[in-house]
Chain A
Amino acid sequence: MNRNPALRDALFAAIVLILVLAIPMLHRSPAFEDFIIRLSAMALFATSLNLLVGNTGMVSFGHGMFYGFAAYAFGLTMQLTELSLPVAALFAVALTTIAAFVVGAMCVRLSTDYFAFITLAVQMLFFSVIVSWQSLTGGDQGLRGGIPRRHILGFDLGSQLHLYQFCAIVAVLGLLALRHVSMSPFGNTLRMVRDNAERASFVGIVLWRARLLAFTIAGGFAGIGGVLAALFVSGAYPELADWPNSGQAIFAVMLGGINSFLGPVLGAMILLALNDLVQRFTEYHGLVLGVVILAFALGLRRGVLDFIHLVWSKRAR
């Protein structure tokens, strides 16, 4: 099995997908289904960010802008044109990828800290454009009137079950593709850029080109997450592109573990569950979330999966 990691990953993905799709046939729980729908969007968003943070060592504070960009691009395309849903989704993701390329071209040459600042600044500019361009985006009230729900390939996205299935399939395929990127020779190049930029340029890697490509790919996959998010809320809101949303993805990555491919997915799961649960018991969720974050940052000093790997490898030794 180890001889063909791609096959192993695909098999693993297929098993997970079958399990997730089987659950509603045994027991319907609308809340659980909502959770998986939201997790699909968030997992793609966080994992794509980790392609930058964990794989390439690029700390972006503005990843949410692509999530939000895709949500608006998708919502507006659906509202303004007669395009079918898959075409509109693909168009939105393509547009987001182009946007990521343009932003990346501006930012990737900067060193770590400045790269973080400039991505934050571009995101704030983008956010203020969304809020001010009321005639197109609806300003702070977001795109209203819902996203027309059209049937695609037998899926009726107005039905919760079908939306659940659709999101699960898209998320698993998306994650598999990201895994493929991360394990490819290009993924190795990125890791070399992260670990030793000088050596990487010595062996002939053009640093900015590798970084720009990573940034563009990450933006595109965040865009897929954004489309799923837009489907869930049946609209697009400026908050999707705001700083706290980028923060959510950063937390998911940090909580789950930056050196494990599935770390961000686990982090997203923890964060969403924490948010849902804490909110039921107290309105001081900031306090609870803050304490949990401190416990991770100062206690484990790394994400859950990274911690498990560490303990595991110590045991093995």
Chain B
Amino acid sequence: MSGPVTRRTLLAGGTATLVAAPWVARAQANTLRIGMQSILSGPIALLGTSSRNSLLVEQDRINAAGGFLGRQIEFVFRDSKGQPQEAARVARELVNTAGCELLVDAEASSASFAVQEVMRDLNVACIHTNSETSSLTADPKIRVPTAFRVARQGVHDAVAGSLYLADFANAKKINKWATCSPDYAYGRDTTAQYLQFFKKFKPDVEVVTEAWPKLGQPDFTEVITKLIQAKPQALFTLLYAGDLSAFVNQGNVYALFGQMTVATPNVDYPVLAAIKNLPAGIQSATRYLETFPDTPANKEWGQAYFKRWNERPTNWSWQNSVAMHFYEAAIKKANSLDGKAIAAALTGLKINSPFGADGTITMRDDHTTIGYAIGWGQTIPKDPFITDIKPADWGKIIELETEWKKQQNYS
């Protein structure tokens, strides 16, 4: 790698520096720069902005406590617009040009895979904070020594959700289900995963119809009427954010929610706030909820975020916050910023966290977190929005995840 830039090399590289002027690193004093990249514009900008807000809260807290290894930290934010090739470029730029010594990759799935490929070449620690696609860390071919995930993992949610919904369906004698999920990799793969586990726990389930609207499709009417025609007893949907909101509003027009029970893992505060007529009784997972886990620490964190940003945190907010907690603990333990040293310290690390099911979250050997809070309950139209929350059984989740990994030939 390039060493310190001396006067001599600068002179020698006359033309080079002239041409490369905008790309030459701005040498800063002792501040530790941390690169963060995400989607900060376009229809799913909330992913990036709610991640960034949370990181800024962490930046203040960490600096007030003395920084990392005595150095104040400063985030460098970049917008990749969610495009993989742009994400790859930005990751390289953050390290090579902006001089970042740590990375927080807050990209959505496909871009996080691009960042992962770049990480193979850079000896810098990186934490993926928003990608839930299991294979990012579960598949040993894709895993990278210095890259970790602090986020929900698809397969964990699928097991937890299927267990809850199987109990629910047995209690209510609901056998005829429909699915409605966005027509792209996340929607297809995750629906398949949920169904696989769901059928395992409730073999007599019958899927009467499937609908696959496009991502960002403005109108779901034909999808809604198709679902109504099929007369299922319950509907499982993976639509999220603006799509989920539009689906609920258009579903209300057809009184969809009176005709079938609806289950979804993707309800978050912004959706709850934006949907003006939220139907009661939707079976829903908790993405982020101030009241789950129902602890003072969690409530305090949610309130502090609200106070600072005048909006409520998302699932992405807590994930990014926890990523910084992991960095903090690992750097203290390793007493170094070197990628390999941090990686060694992170592996197997267990930290206290307001978002842990039992007050702790663990970074497992396969570079992904376990023990975070997962719960399912049902919606009510006003605060706290989801009630009767049942926490998931992590023992069962790990057992089935291990089985799933064997099936995929991942271990």
* A295 interface contact, C-beta 8 A: no
B23 touches A31 (CB 8 A): yes
Residues of B within 8 A of A239 (CB): 83-85
Residues of A268-285 contacting chain B, CB below 8 A: 273, 276-277, 279-280, 283-285
Assembly CA distance A276 to B14 (angstroms)? 22
Supposing A27-B16, A32-B23, A145-B142 touch, asked if A283 and B85 sit within 8 A by C-beta, the answer is no
Residues of A within 8 A of B20 (CB): 23, 27, 29, 31-32
| Chain A proximity mask over B1-20: 1 for CB below 8 Å, otherwise 0 | 01000000110111111011
| Residues of A bordering B, CB below 8 Å | 19, 23, 26-32, 34-35, 38, 131-132, 134, 138-142, 144-146, 158, 160, 229, 232-235, 237, 239-240, 273, 276-277, 279-280, 283-286
A140 touches B15 (CB 8 A): no
Question: Which of B12, B77, B79, B185 is A138 in contact with, Cβ under 8 Å?
Answer: B185
Assembly CA distance A34 to B98 (angstroms)? 14
A279 touches B22 (CB 8 A): no
A31 touches B41 (CB 8 A): no
| Chain A proximity mask over B158-181: 1 for CB below 8 Å, otherwise 0 | 000000000000000000000000
B15 touches A141 (CB 8 A): no
CB distance from A168 to the nearest CB of B (A): 13
A31 touches B97 (CB 8 A): yes
B89 touches A38 (CB 8 A): yes
A276 touches B19 (CB 8 A): no
24 cross-chain CB contacts under 8 A? A26-B12, A27-B12, A27-B17, A28-B2, A29-B2, A29-B20, A29-B96, A31-B25, A32-B16, A38-B89, A132-B183, A138-B185, A139-B184, A139-B185, A140-B184, A141-B133, A142-B84, A144-B135, A233-B85, A233-B88, A239-B84, A279-B79, A283-B79, A286-B41
Supposing A38-B89, A145-B141, A234-B117 touch, asked if A279 and B78 sit within 8 A by C-beta, the answer is yes
Residues of B36-83 contacting chain A, CB below 8 A: 40-41, 77-79, 83
Assembly CA distance A284 to B42 (angstroms)? 10
Task: Specify the chain B residue showing the minimal Cβ separation from A140.
Answer: B184
Residues of A within 8 A of B96 (CB): 29-31, 34
| A-B Cβ contacts below 8 A, count | 120
* B399 interface contact, C-beta 8 A: no
Residues of B within 8 A of A276 (CB): 22-23, 93
Task: Specify the chain B residue showing the minimal Cβ separation from A29.
Answer: B20
Residues of B within 8 A of A140 (CB): 110, 184-185
CB distance from A19 to the nearest CB of B (A): 7
* B355 interface contact, C-beta 8 A: no
B113 touches A144 (CB 8 A): yes
Assembly CA distance A26 to B97 (angstroms)? 18
CB distance from B268 to the nearest CB of A (A): 21
Classify chain B: how many residues form its interface, as a range.
35 or more
* B255 interface contact, C-beta 8 A: no
Assembly CA distance A273 to B20 (angstroms)? 11
Residues of A within 8 A of B83 (CB): 237, 239
Assembly CA distance A22 to B79 (angstroms)? 32
* B121 interface contact, C-beta 8 A: yes
A237 touches B84 (CB 8 A): yes
A131 touches B117 (CB 8 A): no
Residues of A within 8 A of B19 (CB): 23, 32
Assembly CA distance A129 to B280 (angstroms)? 39
A141 touches B113 (CB 8 A): yes
Question: Which of A32, A144, A146, A285 is B41 in contact with, Cβ under 8 Å?
Answer: A285
| Chain A proximity mask over B182-201: 1 for CB below 8 Å, otherwise 0 | 01110010000000000000
CB distance from A187 to the nearest CB of B (A): 31
A285 touches B79 (CB 8 A): yes
Residues of B within 8 A of A30 (CB): 2, 92, 96-97
Task: Specify the chain A residue showing the minimal Cβ separation from B17.
Answer: A27
Name the residue among A26, A27, A158 with the largest chain B CB count within 10 angstroms.
A27
Assembly CA distance A259 to B264 (angstroms)? 56
Assembly CA distance A128 to B327 (angstroms)? 40
Residues of A within 8 A of B304 (CB): none
B114 touches A237 (CB 8 A): yes
Supposing A142-B110, A234-B117 touch, asked if A34 and B92 sit within 8 A by C-beta, the answer is yes
CB distance from A160 to the nearest CB of B (A): 7
CB distance from A24 to the nearest CB of B (A): 8
CB distance from A159 to the nearest CB of B (A): 9
A27 touches B184 (CB 8 A): no
Assembly CA distance A144 to B138 (angstroms)? 14
Assembly CA distance A277 to B23 (angstroms)? 9
Since A29-B97, A31-B96 are in contact, a sample of 16 more A-B pairs with Cβ atoms closer than 8 Å, ordered by chain A residue number, is: A27-B9, A27-B12, A29-B20, A29-B24, A29-B96, A31-B92, A32-B20, A140-B184, A141-B133, A145-B141, A146-B117, A229-B85, A233-B85, A233-B89, A240-B85, A280-B78
**Shortest beta-carbon contacts, A-B, top 5:** A27-B13, A30-B96, A31-B97, A32-B20, A31-B23
